[in-house]
């Protein structure tokens, strides 16, 4: 199963005997791309996980920000802003992932061009 596992489990919980599915062949790369997109559409990712997912789509699948935005249902600006978070100092990324720092505060730190200055 490439996508829809949460829907399938929810259908099981409410006792549905049948769930409509689409069966198709996919290469290993297509499976990876589809599962990555499915995971990015989840609501429980922290901002760094989301940014890393977008970066992975860009790097491994040569997707432009516009393509990523269309695939995950976000605006191009939202994808671009998320990916910029990966320019933060690694420790700041940890704080952001642990919800010790807000995305708004992290974006302010991006204005500091020397990553070590973001720690002060």
Just list the catalytic residues.
5
Residue 46: what are its φ and ψ, rounded to 5°?
A: -80, 165
Measured N-to-C along each axis, helices 28-40 and 47-61 cross at an angle, to the nearest 10 degrees, of: 150
Residue 86 CA to residue 8 CA, distance in Å, equals: 33
For tokens 């490439």, what's the residue? Answer: 2
- Cβ atoms of residues 110 and 84 within 8 Å: yes
The token pair at 87 is 């320019």
In order of 2, 81, 88, 89, the CA distances from 35 in angstroms are 6, 22, 27, 28
């Amino acid at each position: 199963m490439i996508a829809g596992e949460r829907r399938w489990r929810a259908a099981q919980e409410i006792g549905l005997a049948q769930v409509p599915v689409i069966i198709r062949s996919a290469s290993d790369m297509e499976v990876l791309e589809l599962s990555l997109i499915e995971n990015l559409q989840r609501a429980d990712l922290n901002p760094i996980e989301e940014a890393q997912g977008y970066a992975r789509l860009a790097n491994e699948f040569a997707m432009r920000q516009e393509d990523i935005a269309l695939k995950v249902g976000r605006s191009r600006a939202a994808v671009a802003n998320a990916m910029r978070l990966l320019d933060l100092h690694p420790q700041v990324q940890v704080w952001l992932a642990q919800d010790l720092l807000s995305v708004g505060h992290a974006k302010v730190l991006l204005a500091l061009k020397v990553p070590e200055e973001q720690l002060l």
